[in-house]
Amino acid sequence: MRQILRQTLLMMVAGLLLAACVSGGPQVGHTVTLCCPGNYDNYRAYGLELQDMPGFLSDYMVAEFDTALQEKGLVRNDRLNDLTVTMSYRHVNLNPEQEEIDPFERRIEGEPMLRYVANIVVEMRESDTGREVWAGRINRIHTVLPGEYMHEDGARPEISNAFTEMLESYPAL
């Protein structure tokens, strides 16, 4: 009887762990840090600038952000626009002893796992005045080896969803 109970409990624990792994996903969060002091009815077009964005992130971060913002009714025009959107990458190492380690630089074998928060920060300013009218960020905690390739395909739907949710507070046209 004890053996059956023990096996049943082990199977339940294994099932819970498997379900947590399957449903966990990339878990990309979002935060709005400034909302709605602008004159949103006057904004029709935006230009996009990247700052400190790693090359492997640029294309798909821009594509997912463009899609989410265009769903709000804005059109991207990098030459003539009402808003200048700056998208930048920032990371925070969660282990103070690893603060100087670049997570994108491939290192020699035996390096410790890095644990850091990757942030994509979005700031919107009026093009003519420079006044900030909206800001937010998406973020994810990573545990990787230095220089480990980041797999974008698995994270892309979560990133798209995070941008969409982040922009929910942005007034639609």
pLDDT at 17 over 50: no
The secondary structure of 126-148, three-state, reads ECCCCCEEEEEEEEEEEEECCCC
What are the extents of the domains in the chain? 26-169
Write the pLDDT tens digit of every residue in 120-148. 999 999 999 999 999 999 999 877 766 66
CA-CA-CA-CA torsion for 155, 121, 164, 118, nearest 10 degrees? 20
What is the architecture, at CATH level 2, of domain 26-169? 2-Layer Sandwich (3.30)
* Adjacent-strand bridge partners of 121: 88, 137
Q: What pTM value is reported for the model?
A: 0.77
- Residue 82 is given by DSSP the state S
Write the pLDDT tens digit of every residue in 32-42. 999 988 889 99
